[in-house]
Amino acid sequence: MKGPSEGAGAVLWDLDGTLADSKEYHWRSWVKAMEEAGHTVTEAQFLASFGQRNDTILGEWLGPNADPGQIARVGEAKEAYYRDLVKSGGITPLPGAAEWVRHLHEEGWGQAIASSAPKLNVQVMHSALGFSGLIEILVAAEDVSRGKPDPEVFLRAASELGVLPQRCVVVEDAEAGIEAANRGGMRSVGVGDGEVGAADVVVQSLADLPQDTFSKLIDRG
């Protein structure tokens, strides 16, 4: 890991729902994996789980009698189905996402994906979105011991980039992610119609962000 640089700035991106909308792929994958395990999942349960780690999700869905082995098997099956869908169906960045990633890269900002998803998923999406060479650090579920709203995933990404937390801006679409950014001493941008009102800046779409948003947030920090 690099030593923290006081002058550098970095943007830490959530992935699902922020850079790309893969909700339909996740839903289809969960339905299939849960059916194979002899369980059902409702759309309301699915929507309430977004942004959480699989061990947390399945601990609730499978009930108190589920053992760690079953949780692991169902989670691994779901993620394998999900990756197959991304590879076969492709995925496109949300409006404004690709433009911002390229612009920040050209401006010399550090960038990382900091996600609750498994590492293989993050890598597959990173490649499918065309962000190789633009976003250099990928931090995923296996890299941390505590999921959002704990700030560990963002602090780990900042450390790997060599940027102090107060020089980082988190971009998130979920309440847990905004809380994690706040707890980590970072500025934040909330995107979409989720519970992101606690963010420093809230927009419906990344395409709506003013060009000076990130520099202003870092200066304010």
pLDDT, tens digit, for every residue of 89-102?
A: 999 999 999 999 99
Q: What is the pLDDT of residue 221?
A: 53
What is the pTM assigned to this prediction? 0.86
110-114 and 10-13 beta bridge pairing? parallel
Give the Cα separation of 186 and 158 in Å (integer).
10
Evaluate if residue 36 carries a pLDDT over 50. Answer: yes
Which strands, in side-by-side order, build the sheet including 137-139? 137-139, 110-114, 10-13, 168-172, 187-191, 201-203
Q: What is the pLDDT of residue 194?
A: 85
Cα four-point dihedral sign 21, 24, 26, 27: positive
Question: Is there a contact between 160 and 140 (Cβ–Cβ < 8 Å)?
Answer: no
pLDDT bin (cut points 50, 70, 90) of residue 220 is low
| Stretch (H or E) spanning 202 | strand 201-203
